[in-house]
A and B are shown apart, each in its own frame.
Chain A
């Protein structure tokens, strides 16, 4: 579990102050995948680096698995960091070491003996599907393979928490998918808590249980993804399912906040004798629910009744403008 309370981070640059974090509260439950999105410069990396104290917050506390990291310094902080794995956007592998050597590195740091290191490295490479590359050097690997090494290395010291800063941003879509599958699998099988940062909304849809949107160093919105999608006016819902701009008095935005077995639209047209025209949008699977947003034009004499019926069914009906 990760809990950050009242995080502030101020950088001083040539007399100018940059408020990278301006009072951030974050709570990541045990065993969940938590995504943080936000524009460039919003403070996402700073937030992540504050969680393992690579950056010391100017104000506020960080607690991981019951240990208040912000209260620790020196060797005790270093020991606590070993319980937190980190995956980096540009992999950050040692070019002078083989794949096995890279995965063994955190174990050497932790003082694990040689035999145990060998055993654990074998196990980890197996886990990420790179057993055949143990003796290769990072320069000989593809981006996806490098990130697998990064993940194996992050898991070496048996962390309960994994931090990931744009782990898939340098990868192509297919490779991104395989890395996300790997992370999701690790989360399910090892009960690993994952806090990840991304600018790809797809990542949130595909793997995150919860999410937060960071804007100018503050949390604009946070909660379980499925709940946020059902929240009227949600920024996250709008970012996950962007809709085309429509300028028509009959147009509405419909948000599907859960899966429906029945064919809603055909029932709507039959019941109220209205015309429904879909202008854009998408329904996708998120956390096991088929949810999404559509921009539709509903026209006919009983349009108001039709919209009220949709509302009664649990859809979110909002004016398109």
Chain B
């Protein structure tokens, strides 16, 4: 035990900067990908509900198409998706290496994931409230903006947290093919150089990042939920 602590103390100055940068890279990838996941997944998830039978704007064909696309995105293993979109990644970022390049597959993976969670949250909104809004003469955009989204907000935030957590693990996978971040460190230093200390340090840091996202999310949900 003391031997381990001594080793940590001895090597810390050398490890700290790399681990810190790795953490920042992970957070950078996750945050940007989450942003794109929201930009793409939120409208997609809402559409999956409103185009359904009995929804605001029923459109069975459109819904079947959207649902199909989402299912394809959801069923691809992330590691396969990452390889599959390499040329798109190069087109958008000019490279296939590094955290910025990793944002492309991460976003593409997270959009359908978040869309399904949005769909579930929006579907939970009380139909009676939607009907009441109709009775008050509210139009469809108003109902989406002022009824569906605010009423679903706690569920949406929970979905976002789940997406963030999943993105942390995806980002570690991205590290395996040169995406940067904590996963990259774990593979390079921990696995390829058999350096257990690096391996465990990245594990601890990943857990810390996930915990931080979850706790912050729970706090926000508690603040905004009035059920």
A binding-site residues for B, Cβ under 8 Å: 52, 54, 75, 78-82, 84, 86, 88, 90-97, 105-106, 108-110, 137-139, 153, 157, 163
Q: Do the beta carbons of B146 and A108 come within 8 Å of each other?
A: yes
**Do A82 and B131 form a contact, CB below 8 Å, given A96-B153, A108-B146?**
no
Bound complex: CA of A94 vs CA of B147, how far in Å? 7
Is B151 located at the chain interface by the 8 A CB criterion?
Answer: yes
Residues of B within 8 A of A137 (CB): 226
Is B222 located at the chain interface by the 8 A CB criterion?
Answer: no
Is B150 located at the chain interface by the 8 A CB criterion?
Answer: yes
- Tell me the minimal C-beta distance from B125 to chain A in angstroms: 9
Q: Do the beta carbons of A157 and B136 come within 8 Å of each other?
A: yes
Q: Do the beta carbons of B136 and A94 come within 8 Å of each other?
A: no
Is B56 located at the chain interface by the 8 A CB criterion?
Answer: no
Residues of A within 8 A of B90 (CB): none
Residues of A within 8 A of B128 (CB): 88, 90-92
Residues of B within 8 A of A97 (CB): 150
| Stretch binding the partner chain, chosen from B109-117, B137-145, B158-166 | B137-145
Q: Do the beta carbons of B135 and A54 come within 8 Å of each other?
A: yes
Bound complex: CA of A157 vs CA of B133, how far in Å? 13
Is B193 located at the chain interface by the 8 A CB criterion?
Answer: no
Q: Do the beta carbons of B138 and A95 come within 8 Å of each other?
A: no
Residues of B within 8 A of A81 (CB): 134-137
Q: Do the beta carbons of B137 and A79 come within 8 Å of each other?
A: yes
Q: Do the beta carbons of B151 and A86 come within 8 Å of each other?
A: no
Q: Do the beta carbons of A92 and B226 come within 8 Å of each other?
A: no
Is B196 located at the chain interface by the 8 A CB criterion?
Answer: no
B binding-site residues for A, Cβ under 8 Å: 126, 128-129, 131-139, 142, 146-147, 150-151, 153, 224, 226-227
The secondary-structure label for the interface of chain B is helix
Q: Do the beta carbons of B227 and A109 come within 8 Å of each other?
A: no
- Tell me the minimal C-beta distance from A137 to chain B in angstroms: 4
Residues of B within 8 A of A94 (CB): 129, 147, 150-151
Q: Do the beta carbons of B151 and A109 come within 8 Å of each other?
A: no
**Do A139 and B129 form a contact, CB below 8 Å, given A52-B135, A79-B137?**
no
Q: Do the beta carbons of A86 and B135 come within 8 Å of each other?
A: yes
Residue among B132, B138, B142 with the highest chain A CB neighbour number at 10 A: B132
- Tell me the minimal C-beta distance from B121 to chain A in angstroms: 12
Residues of A within 8 A of B227 (CB): 95, 139
Residue of A nearest to B126 (CB): A92
- Tell me the minimal C-beta distance from A154 to chain B in angstroms: 8
**Do A109 and B136 form a contact, CB below 8 Å, given A95-B227, A96-B150?**
yes
Bound complex: CA of A67 vs CA of B153, how far in Å? 38
Residue among A52, A88, A94 with the highest chain B CB neighbour number at 10 A: A94
**Do A110 and B131 form a contact, CB below 8 Å, given A94-B150, A96-B151?**
no
**Do A54 and B136 form a contact, CB below 8 Å, given A94-B150, A94-B151, A139-B227?**
no
- Tell me the minimal C-beta distance from B11 to chain A in angstroms: 51
Q: Do the beta carbons of A109 and B131 come within 8 Å of each other?
A: no
Residues of A within 8 A of B134 (CB): 54, 81
Cβ 8 A contact of A96, one of B137, B139, B226? B226
**Do A92 and B151 form a contact, CB below 8 Å, given A81-B137, A106-B136?**
no
Residue of A nearest to B127 (CB): A92
Kindly list 11 other residue pairs between chains A and B, CB separation below 8 angstroms, not including A92-B132, A138-B226. A75-B139, A81-B137, A92-B126, A92-B128, A92-B131, A94-B147, A94-B151, A95-B226, A109-B142, A109-B146, A157-B136
Residue of B nearest to A98 (CB): B226
Residues of A within 8 A of B139 (CB): 75, 78
**Do A139 and B132 form a contact, CB below 8 Å, given A78-B138, A110-B137?**
no
Bound complex: CA of A80 vs CA of B137, how far in Å? 8
Cβ 8 A contact of A105, one of B146, B153, B224, B226? B146
**Do A105 and B136 form a contact, CB below 8 Å, given A94-B150, A95-B227, A96-B226?**
yes
Q: Do the beta carbons of A109 and B138 come within 8 Å of each other?
A: yes
Cβ 8 A contact of B132, one of A80, A86, A96? A86
Bound complex: CA of A93 vs CA of B151, how far in Å? 10
Residues of B within 8 A of A54 (CB): 131, 134-135
Residue of B nearest to A136 (CB): B226
Residues of B within 8 A of A106 (CB): 136-137
